[in-house]
Structure 1
Amino acid sequence: MSTSPKRPVHAAQTLFPVVDGCLQVGGIPLTRLAQRVGQTPFYAYDRALVTERVRHLRASLPAAIGLHYSIKANPMPALVQHLAGLVDGLDVASGGELTVALDTGKDPSHISFAGPGKSEAELTRAVAAGVHVHAESEREIRLLARIGDQLGMHPQLVLRINPDFELKGSGMRMGGGAKQFGIDAEEAPRMLALAAELGLTVLGFHIFSGSQSLKAEAIVEAQAQTIELALRLADACRDPVRVLNIGGGFGIPYFPGESALDLAPIGERLEQALPRVQSALPQARLNIELGRYLVGEAGVYVARVIDRKVSRGQVFLVTDGGLHHHLAASGNFGQVIRKNYPAAIGNRGGQEDIEVVSVVGPLCTPLDLLAEKMELPRAEPGDLVVVFQSGAYGLSASPGGFLSHPAALEVLV
């Protein structure tokens, strides 16, 4: 056992102050917050951190750039409601997310619906609501024309484009090569002609090449390629381009050795590109769509230690939470090389009695692992384990029904 408190601190941990040994979320001591919630595990999202992240983006990017929140990152209704008052638009990827977006009272023309495999019922509802539908296939274009005729309405159509390039070094490549997302760039002129033949107005383009990048130079390059592609496609479009969604891709650091994304060069290059875009596409609104970057660092996952056991010299803290609530932190069922998310014992801040432990959940699988051989303050049953960087792709991206344990709660503070 080591008594040295000089352990590396992840930047995310500095966002949540420790007062009298207890982590604060939204200015509330974690132990008191757990009492208010009434059970563990739970996710807690700090609205002040979300607000500050939006302010930071506004200050770093040109004022002419619209900022959209991608609800798939975290669809908690209270969080979406908070963000709806801060951003210019909301982007959804299902009928359920569309309900959450419409319930905020946001102008439907500032809501967009993307994603492959939209059902006819979803498309009908989207057209009736007046949201922008980002068509991803010929089927969707033809369906939108038929639905528009049936409803006596003009669908708000945007073409989602699968570009012929990708966001280099991104955690998830959404463009380039064969993809289920969007219409291949080389097929776009034919789809534009089809839309015109069917009497549809095309408002513009959505071009998304990747996500979770921490390299400003890669994002700058992808954005430049996106703008060039959009300008070429505009030449084949009979309608003036009013919407240009250039995706996002902004990442957050999860693991040791990763640094926060530098927004300065991204903002500078967009500022330089805007005059050309505005000259060529004078009616277009240029939007950036972000999810994880807006909410990822503002959330924590909290589980309670149920048991402390030693197996052949290794200490295990067994908690009431795990991969069924936070699949990403556990390593996605072993599909990726697992690394520890930043974590802490939330009610033992500043404690110098440090030990190496593994934090596990209650599931009957060795994959149920929240922290592996991590240096943490000595903890006992009843203490609270906190996993940082948990505001995005957490509860809604996890197999909540696995082994039928109780669901985690969510709170916005």
Structure 2
Amino acid sequence: MADAPDLAAALIAENFSRDAGGVLQVGGLPLTDLAEKFGTPLFVYDAATMRRTYRALCAAVAGFAEVDFSVKANPAVIRVFREEGAGAEIASGAEFEAALKAGVAPEKILFAGPGKGAADLDRVVAGGIGEIHLENREEMVRVAAAAERHGVTVRVALRINPGATAQGGAMRMGGKPSPFGFDEEEMETAIDAVEAMPRLRLVGLHLFAGTQGLKAETLLGQWAYGLGLAARIAQRTGRALETIDLGGGLGIPYFSGEAALDLGAIRAGLPDLIATLRADPRLAGARVVLEPGRYLAGSAGLYVARVLAVKDSRGSRFVITDGGMHHHLAASGNLGQIVKRDFPLAAGVEGPEAPRTATAVVGPLCTPLDMLARAAPLPPLAEGDLVAVLQSGAYGLTASPTGFLSHPTPAEVLVEGGKAEMIRARG
């Protein structure tokens, strides 16, 4: 995958296809037909790709961990993973409701996030949530108060911000000052504080050291570190742990030069971790959980926009579309990128030998930030043509400023079994 067109072509070959006329296909359905039926801009998700990815990851970590779905990545597709047997990791009361609506049993839902409010905590405690992951002292008090109101004991885990040796991934979540979780240095004090609250039952650990990890050795190292922290919690409480949540953090390739995560290397590195669990009776019975979102849903999605105009300006080619950063902030580079790089893009209809030109793809908003690509290698495009942003199944619509300039929100469509279902109407 030396350059952007190679990455786009590889992703299409792996997760989608083109027919003899060069029309991009999603689950066997022409993208042109989907755009005509549901309008543009449009998010399209292929359920078969999501199921295949989930099953491959479950097989890779079998005997070590179970796989849940992190709802924040894409609440619209929870049902697909619930049907595969996944539980849900949520970060708000609204995500709790979305998970329940998708059929996830409340006891299979975990609640993480650094700012859980009293109303959300009251709702999830009343709803019988499986586990709440504590991230600060004030939260302990709020959860205990909700448990007291409802006359229950709540299962909780401690989210730990690990030391620098556990860092990794494109976006570090640990090993530095952080609003997420308790610093490792104060873990024992946090354990004692939870143990002093009779309505809280400390059953586990939550570790999330980084996200968008593409190297198996980094993830394996983080997981090993997490098992060590889990053993320390069990030692302090004098009880066996029931849950060890090692977070998500598994990445997908977005940019030229990036390679997909090697599940074979993950599998090869598990025997030592499994041996560590089995050797410690305090950990041997624990449910080890991975809760990725991006990895499971990201590659299954396309963001589709229609060309409104094409213009040349001082030697640069601009394609202006009806979609933009208000729907897909991540693709615009304004969701955490320091150096702006282009997601893989493809034309909706493209011949195998179509000449490509470095093209800026921009949206309709009155800001220079509204740029889906800066120099994407694309064939000649004209008004009415379609452009698809790949790797758009996670952190798309719900991670974007949809109210900016009051444009309509796009529909979201799930393709499965040769049929397309609108799972969120155009707003």
Query: Which of the five TM-score ranges fits, normalised by the shorter chain?
Result: over 0.9
Matches within 5 A, 1:2-401: 8-10=6-8, 11-14=10-13, 15-19=15-19, 20-37=21-38, 39-76=39-76, 79-131=77-129, 132-165=131-164, 167-199=166-198, 200-280=200-280, 281-332=283-334, 336-350=338-352, 352-401=354-403
Q: Check conservation: 2:167, 2:174, Cα contact below 8 A.
A: no
User: 1:162–1:209: 8 Å Cα contact kept in structure 2?
Assistant: yes
Moved more, 274-283 or 347-356: 347-356
Q: How far off its partner does 1:93 sit?
A: 0.3
> Offset of 1:168 from its aligned partner?
4.2
Tell me the number of residue pairs that the alignment of Structure 1 and Structure 2 aligns: 405
Contact 1:299 1:392 in 2 (8 A): yes
Secondary structure of the corresponding residue to residue 326 of structure 2: coil
1:323–1:329 contact (8 Å) kept in structure 2: yes
Q: Kindly report the root-mean-square deviation, in angstroms, between the aligned alpha carbons of the 2 structures.
A: 1.8
Q: State the partner residue of 1:3.
A: none
Q: Distance in 1 between matches of 2:152 and 2:173?
A: 31
* 3-state SS in 1 of match to 2:258: coil
Which SS does the other structure have where 1:8 is aligned? helix
Tell me the TM-score normalized by structure 2. Answer: 0.91
Q: Would you say the 8 A contact 1:74–1:392 is kept in 2?
A: yes
Give distance in 1, aligned partners of 2:231 and 2:196: 22
Provide, for residues 324-372 of structure 1, a one-character-per-residue CA deviation record: whole Å limited to 9, x for no partner.
Answer: 1111111107962111111111123435243332211111122211122
Match of 1:290, SS state, is coil
What is the deviation of 1:397? 0.7
Once the 2 structures are TM-superposed, how far is the Cα of residue 384 of structure 1 from its aligned partner? Answer: 0.3
Q: Secondary structure at the match of 2:164?
A: coil
Instruction: Decide whether the 8 Å contact of 1:62 with 1:271 is kept in 2.
Output: no
Letter in 2 for 1:188: M
CA pair 66-145 structure 1, distance change in 2 beyond 3 A: same
Secondary structure in 1 aligned to 2:340? coil
Q: Does the residue aligned with 2:372 lie in a helix, a strand or coil? A: strand
Instruction: Report the 3-state secondary structure (helix = DSSP H, G, I; strand = E; otherwise coil) of the residue aligned with 2:158.
Output: strand
Q: Return the letter of the residue paired with 1:196.
A: E
Q: Alignment partner of 2:237: what SS?
A: coil
In structure 1, the residue matched to 2:419 is none
Cα gap change, 1:291 to 1:282, in 2 (>3 Å): same
Distance in 1 (CA, whole Å) between partners of 2:375 and 2:124 is 48
Give 3-state SS (helix, strand or coil) of 1:188's partner: helix
Residue 239 (structure 1) shift: 3.5
Q: Which moved more, 1:307-316 or 1:50-59?
A: 307-316
Show structure 2 runs of 5+ residues with no match. 416-427
Structure 2 CA distance, aligned partners of 1:29 and 1:394?
22
Question: In the alignment, what sits opposite 2:420?
Answer: none
What TM-score do the two structures reach when normalised by structure 1?
Answer: 0.94
Q: 1:235 to 1:355 in 2, by over 3 A?
A: same
Distance between the aligned counterparts of 1:191 and 1:373, measured in 2? Answer: 49
Query: Does the aligned pair in 2 maintain the 1:163–1:184 contact within 8 Å?
Result: yes
Identity percentage of aligned residues: 44
Mapped to 2, the partners of 1:362 and 1:207 lie a distance apart of 41
